[in-house]
Structure 1
Amino acid sequence: MSMPDDAHRRAESLRARIRYHNHRYYVLDDPEIPDAEYDRLIRELQALEAEYPALVTPDSPTQRVGGQPRPEFLAVRHRIPMISLDNAMSDAELLEFHQRLAKSFQDDAPILYLAEPKLDGLAVNLRYEQGILIQAATRGDGTTGEDVTQNARTIQTIPLRLLGEDWPAILEVRGEIYMTRAGFARLNAEMRRKGRTPFANPRNAAAGSLRQLDARITAGRPLAFCCYGWGELSASAGESQFVMLQRLAAWGVPISKELQQVRGLDGCRAYFDALGERRDALDYDIDGVVFKVDRLADQVRLGATAHHPRWAVARKFPAQEELTQVEAVEFQVGRTGAVTPVARLRPVQVGGVTVANATLHNMDEVIRKDVRIGDTVIVRRAGEVIPEVVRVVPERRPPDVRAVELPSQCPVCGSDVIRPEGEAVARCTGGLYCPAQRKEAIRHFASRRAMDIEGLGEKLIEQLVDLDWVREPADLYRLTPEQLARLERMGEKSAANLLAALERSKETSFARFIFALGIREVGETTAQALAARFDGMASLMQARESDFVRERGIKGIGIETATALHRFLVEHPEQETDGNLADWLTGLGIRGLTPARASLLAERFGSLQALRLAGLEDLYWNSARLVEGVGPVVAAHLAGFFAQAHNREAIARLLAAGIRWPETAPQPSAAGASPLTGKTFVITGTLSRPRDAIKEQLQGFGARVSGSLSSKTDYLLAGEAAGSKLDKARALGIPVLDEAGLAALLVQE
């Protein structure tokens, strides 16, 4: 059927009028026509498009209802990462943020901030090209999100086509999808009416609604959108965040009605306090206020860390708190082996969420807060997300409370739980064996700097573990082509490539193998030092803490007190005690020799004669590292790891699978076998070998390899296109080596 020109013109006119009234109703909350008239316009446009299907456009207001269910969400990589905001949990932290910024400004004029509520919703990125919405993606991990375009199109406050004509060709709008409290109440009433479980809070409802595979379900949910910024932009954003947001509003993008410019710290505090007082009266949940430096040039100058912009902060409201009772304390094992106490609570509503569990963080926190099983406690959602026990209410403590005790064995695998001195976190030592740590242990084992198993990524590891084909690293070397070919997105060629990579990984170095075991706090440099110190796996596994660190003296006694006492004993050989050694030592009047320290000495040596025979190093607490980089804490981790039969057996199975490395004679300990020990190298430019290989070789000679150049650098190894580091090295007078020069230096060693 041919389409008359007047039908096309009428459709365009209807769309323009409906977009205008949508903006008035959903964004400005100021409708100009009654609902019946609006419905008449929609029905007329629907009838026209039904009669002439060629009239239907992707941005037509009739296309918000959603299409057929989709099988999955596709990944979307953000062109500009969506990094998080830093949090200020108190006025003192807001003051610290402000003072840090003030130091970077040249004049004393008050900083102009942009202030707006921090909505408790789901962050999304909307991409417009030539004014048309072409893609919507969730924040995800900040780098990669999920494509929710079909669902976002159903949200009335998201314009499918921008208003006006002066918008840039490419515009990414960033903001929060949320659900109003009134909409949330209506939705939950409907859920209960249908006999379904209601949502816990508006944020969960918004997130669950947006991530429906069937966009028609999303279309029926009361979702809204509010813009707080932008991503990729093909034109200048101007000079001010506030002004740019007003431009976005003029294009039909909803922004917060609470948006304000405020001056200085006092302005921020006043805005925060005023909004906090009105918080309960708002029709949407907020968990704080966002303050941003308004001038865009200042934002660029201040920059960002890998995690958050330096020019913005989220000042959080105090978390909501409730009273409940600790019914039990259980211990969970994390993917890195951390054994964390978790309070099982009598369920209680906190900020609209039913809380039945709360973290106790670690045993130090349990002891500090004096939490016992049976206690009444104040619980809150820290940052309004993670429930935690704030404190005990001692006046409500019943007589039959029970103390919380750290288990000596892992509740998952039965391996020893150790808590090295000076550390707050206790850990399971069954790293290669413990099911709770399985995925993380295998991911680390396969990583590039460990066994370098190309093609064995995180998703593949998850499949292998979930199928129970891989329980420990050695199982990787028993995989068959038939097994791998059955995995998702793994054909015969990919399976063959992975098996080849597994076979190549068997040829490694002792240092890489040690690092691959994933022993707590044993990094690449420490692994190199261990490989240089021990002649093989057997001798390393037999080592005890005393083989890594030599400890002497008495804890609690410093060198000054010990020196003064030692000098006195040498200079007064005729002195004798007249009874109690501790009292006699206290009576000497030596500075720092308190009664408590005198008691320690008396307990250790027993008599004055034994004390006189002691050397100075036997009196004050001191330790010596026998392996570079291995102190008391790392020594405890090493000894604890190898003490577990599970781990030794897992290592034996890896060696039986064919993992091997060239045999090298052990080097003398930290006292330094090589003239390169302790020397710092920096590597730059394009070289004939991978940098990791050169780094490993240098570390084998006891050298350190750094990524940054300074006056303390001993050598710069420069390849082709060395760039600014080469210029800086010459300016600082640092010796510069090419690959031939490095080879000559190593031959001398």
Structure 2
Amino acid sequence: MSAIQHKIEELRETLKKHNYNYYVLDHPTVTDYEFDMMLKELQELEGKHPEFYDPNSPTMRVGGEVTKNFETVAHDFRMYSLDNSYSKEDIEDWEKRIQRVLGDVPVEYTCELKYDGASMSLTYENGSLVRAVTRGDGFQGDDVTANVKTIRSVPLTLNGDYPPKFEIRGEIILPREGFAKMNQERIDSGEEPYMNPRNTASGSLKLQDSSEVAKRPLECLLYSIVGERLGIDTQFQVLESARRWGFKVPGEAKLCKSTSEVMEFVEYWETRKNDLPYEIDGVVVKVNSVQQQEELGYTAKSPRWAMAYKFKTEQASTLLNTISYQVGRTGAITPVANLEPVLLGGTIVKRASLHNADQIEKLDVRVGDTVFVEKGGEIIPKIVGVDFTRRDVGSVPTDYITDCPECNTELIRKEGEAQHYCPNYYGCPPQITGRIQHFISRKAMDIEGLGGETVELLYKEGLINDYADLYELTKEQVLPLERMADKSAENLITGIEKSKEIPFERVLYALGIRFVGETVAKKLAREYKSIEKLMAASTEELINVDEIGEKIAESVTDFFANEQNTAIVNRLQKHGIQLEISAESLQNQTDKLKGCNFVISGVFEKVTRNELKKLIEDNGGKVVSSISSKTSFVVAGDKMGPSKKDKAEKLNIPLISEDDFLEMI
């Protein structure tokens, strides 16, 4: 190694250590001036000797990389959302659900503070940061690596005995002090202050110039590690390991042996949350044992082994000026309260949901009332009551509209449903554009270069009237549109063309059939393999498909009974959209396990749990989380949960090994 290279490596290591002491341990060992002088020396040496470039050098912290478009990246491991609880009873009910699956075994809980920031997933390979991706929709997010590298509490390289590859999840936050300082600077320069730390942190991640991100005092607080064969047995060990490797993990987490200890932790921090250097909105409670977490598994949206306890919701009162009505893509009508602006939870609230006619009648909400507004789950504002002491004597009850506010068609309300609907499926503008917006959305066709506003514009200009029309657009047609440059027009057409590669199950979801969400679309695609076979299925045949009920079956047959819908599907087919499972996918699929329900329990050597689950599903089987009389087999690995083993034996469910299963397929 040359003397220059040695000096560069020495400076990098020294700066890394000082950065860790200052931003992670909050214990600086050199002055800011000394740190800046060493950083400047390193920048000069790297500038003169580009052959020693390192993407994880401390000089990357200052930013400078400009990102015009943030690439969409799929998460290797889905980022689930958490179920919320608001009372001791909720936590106790959750514990009962856990015990029903695990049986009468001791369960410990790790309690952590719920940081109010922007969720982030960081991928490390061989101890180096390779990717930082936002939560997005949980399945995929935006690659913001260049911006995240400027956050000083995010280690670019790790220390110690870390796994060769893993993802670590956390929140990007703006500490109170840094946020206050940023706002003071904005006020001093005559600019409007930012409204709250959470939105400002989230917005910072999408700035195009990473050197601007570097100026913001962002921090990253970590709380979860995911990957294969990590050698970590408990959530508390996750936190300790992450801290040891160089991540900033707050020390307030506590191991609790009962829900009463959990509630003590919750009550302690609910009264002391304002003493913290950053904002929190609750406590996250997790089953501590990783093995028990695997036994409990996931629902469609959330882990069964974790629960967020949300602190009491902030409430405000304000004047209800008017009630307006929105029309969704399915024709569902949603009443919206237009309010006198009021500050709530750090944001100005001007509108709130009134849900449906029953809710308006139940609360007796009237225009001119002073109403109480809350943030449902602290995200979507909702009206929760009326201050009747301030009601005007001349006020009149709210009459729910009878005709569509967009196309004047008489509304209908089906028996047993809460919402009114506009039945003018093909003539009501918000339904038409709403269906197209759903079609192009990220979880569906994910058409890059095409957003909601552009859809509205294309419809308004008469260029599209349904989603099949998208595939007949030309660059020359879209170029004259407002704010459409040559490059953006080209990107739009390219994005539409690229969407022809989207697999069948996502196309099926994109069609917007009522009650057919992502999970149902996957089941139907797996069962019928092509759109022709699905279109030919009767309601009775659909009901026989696992987990497809009468409501979904009727909705599917109604959709395909409509001639306009089938005409659109036929046009999509002519344009080359994937309306059947590809031959490549079918090669790996069989019906060997059709009708069999499997429970997976324990740790496996030859395949991971995720690979095992995929093998079951690819061969027509179904993975379920808990053992019942309907379970066909339990695939039992090492360290299998004793309660599951006992239950399987009592119900005479066959226990098979990993090798038995692989031989079976």
Matches within 5 A, 1:328-477: 328-442=322-436, 466-468=457-459, 469-472=463-466
Letter in 1 for 2:10: S
Cα shift at 1:120: 1.0
In the other structure, the counterpart of 1:94 is 91
Structure 2 gap segments, 5+ residues each: 480-488, 525-533, 542-548, 574-580, 587-592, 598-617, 623-630, 634-665
Secondary structure, aligned partner of 1:97: helix
Cα shift at 1:142: 1.0
Q: Any conservation in 2 of the 1:129–1:171 contact (CA below 8 Å)? A: yes
Within 2, Cα distance between the matches of 1:73 and 1:473?
25
Matches within 5 A, 1:41-52: 41-52=38-49
Letter in 1 for 2:15: I
- Which residue, out of 15, 26, 29, partners 1:29? 26
Within 2, Cα distance between the matches of 1:46 and 1:496?
43
Letter in 2 for 1:223: L
Q: Any conservation in 2 of the 1:188–1:199 contact (CA below 8 Å)? A: yes
Q: Any conservation in 1 of the 2:436–2:455 contact (CA below 8 Å)? A: no
In the other structure, the counterpart of 2:217 is 222
- 1:50-101 CA-partner distances (Å, limit 9, x unpaired): 4444344222212211123222001111111111112113322111111111
- 1:379-405 CA-partner distances (Å, limit 9, x unpaired): 111111111111111111122324322
Distance 1:654 1:112, change over 3 A: closer
Matches within 5 A, 1:675-694: none
Secondary structure, aligned partner of 2:239: helix
In the other structure, the counterpart of 1:64 is 61
In the other structure, the counterpart of 2:289 is 295
Secondary structure, aligned partner of 2:101: coil
Structure ID, larger Rg: 1
Matches within 5 A, 1:18-417: 18-109=15-106, 111-164=107-160, 166-233=161-228, 235-417=229-411
Q: Any conservation in 1 of the 2:475–2:490 contact (CA below 8 Å)? A: no
Within 2, Cα distance between the matches of 1:294 and 1:76?
30
Matches within 5 A, 1:451-530: 466-468=457-459, 469-472=463-466, 488=491, 490=493, 494=497
Letter in 2 for 1:209: S
Within 2, Cα distance between the matches of 1:378 and 1:50?
60
Within 2, Cα distance between the matches of 1:107 and 1:271?
24
Q: Any conservation in 2 of the 1:237–1:244 contact (CA below 8 Å)? A: no
Letter in 2 for 1:488: N
Within 1, Cα distance between the matches of 2:464 and 2:184?
46
Within 2, Cα distance between the matches of 1:365 and 1:420?
17
Cα shift at 1:121: 0.8
- 1:35-62 CA-partner distances (Å, limit 9, x unpaired): 3333333233334334444344222212
Structure 1 gap segments, 5+ residues each: 448-454, 506-511, 533-627, 660-684, 691-705, 711-720, 730-749
Letter in 2 for 1:134: V
Letter in 2 for 1:215: S
Cα shift at 1:335: 2.2
Q: Any conservation in 2 of the 1:339–1:427 contact (CA below 8 Å)? A: yes
Q: Any conservation in 1 of the 2:172–2:218 contact (CA below 8 Å)? A: yes
Distance 1:495 1:305, change over 3 A: closer
Matches within 5 A, 1:572-651: none
* Larger mean Cα displacement after TM superposition, 32-41 or 382-391: 32-41
Q: Any conservation in 2 of the 1:481–1:495 contact (CA below 8 Å)? A: no
Distance 1:493 1:247, change over 3 A: closer
Q: Any conservation in 1 of the 2:120–2:132 contact (CA below 8 Å)? A: yes
In the other structure, the counterpart of 2:654 is none
Within 2, Cα distance between the matches of 1:90 and 1:49?
56
Secondary structure, aligned partner of 1:427: coil
* Larger mean Cα displacement after TM superposition, 336-345 or 7-16: 7-16
In the other structure, the counterpart of 1:566 is none
Cα shift at 1:102: 2.3
Secondary structure, aligned partner of 1:204: helix
Matches within 5 A, 1:649-668: none
In the other structure, the counterpart of 1:584 is none
Instruction: Say whether residues 1:17 and 2:1 are aligned partners.
Output: no
Letter in 2 for 1:73: F
Secondary structure, aligned partner of 1:428: coil
- 1:701-720 CA-partner distances (Å, limit 9, x unpaired): xxxxx98569xxxxxxxxxx
Within 2, Cα distance between the matches of 1:31 and 1:286?
26
Secondary structure, aligned partner of 1:21: helix
Using structure 1 for the length normalisation, give the TM-score. 0.65
Within 2, Cα distance between the matches of 1:446 and 1:206?
28
Cα shift at 1:302: 1.2
Cα shift at 1:199: 2.2
Within 2, Cα distance between the matches of 1:50 and 1:224?
28
Distance 1:461 1:431, change over 3 A: farther
Cα shift at 1:445: 9.2
Cα shift at 1:360: 0.9
Superposed CA RMSD in Å reads 4.6
Secondary structure, aligned partner of 2:283: strand
In the other structure, the counterpart of 1:611 is none
Matches within 5 A, 1:724-743: none
Within 2, Cα distance between the matches of 1:191 and 1:114?
40
Within 1, Cα distance between the matches of 2:512 and 2:245?
56
Secondary structure, aligned partner of 1:200: coil
Cα shift at 1:526: 11
Distance 1:58 1:397, change over 3 A: same
Within 1, Cα distance between the matches of 2:151 and 2:323?
44
Distance 1:436 1:180, change over 3 A: same
Distance 1:686 1:724, change over 3 A: farther
Using structure 2 for the length normalisation, give the TM-score. 0.72
Secondary structure, aligned partner of 2:102: coil
Cα shift at 1:491: 6.1
Secondary structure, aligned partner of 1:332: strand
Within 2, Cα distance between the matches of 1:445 and 1:172?
31
Within 2, Cα distance between the matches of 1:167 and 1:652?
54
- 1:566-601 CA-partner distances (Å, limit 9, x unpaired): xxxxxxxxxxxxxxxxxxxxxxxxxxxxxxxxxxxx
- 1:379-437 CA-partner distances (Å, limit 9, x unpaired): 11111111111111111112232432221221122222222233211112122122211
Secondary structure, aligned partner of 1:69: coil
